[in-house]
Amino acid sequence: MQSVLDRALERYRRERFLRAANADFAALKRDAKAWKQELRDRALWEQTLGDGISKE
């Protein structure tokens, strides 16, 4: 019985987290200036994948 409750609580925690993350991204997208900055930041991080450093 305890394992069923543990799994249910974990699922609930994950669903709350994802709903909150989705709401935060929706709010970010509604702010055109903030969303544009987010896209610029993502582009900068994407460049780090091609820096020539091995995955080891």
What token pair was written down for 17?
A: 């987290």
Tokens 């091995």 appear where? 54
In-domain check, residue 55: no
Q: Name the residue range of residue 43's domain.
A: 2-49
Residue type, 18: L
In-domain check, residue 54: no
Determine the pLDDT at residue 46: 83
Q: What is each CA distance from 22 to 4, 39, 42, in whole angstroms?
A: 27, 16, 17
Q: Using alpha carbons, select from 31, 19, 23 the residue that is nearest to residue 39.
A: 31
Q: pLDDT, tens digit, for every residue of 1-56?
A: 889 999 999 999 999 999 999 999 999 999 999 999 999 999 988 887 666 666 66
Query: How many independent structural domains does the chain possess?
Result: 1
The answer to pTM > 0.75 is: no
In-domain check, residue 12: yes
d(CA 47, CA 6): 40
In-domain check, residue 36: yes
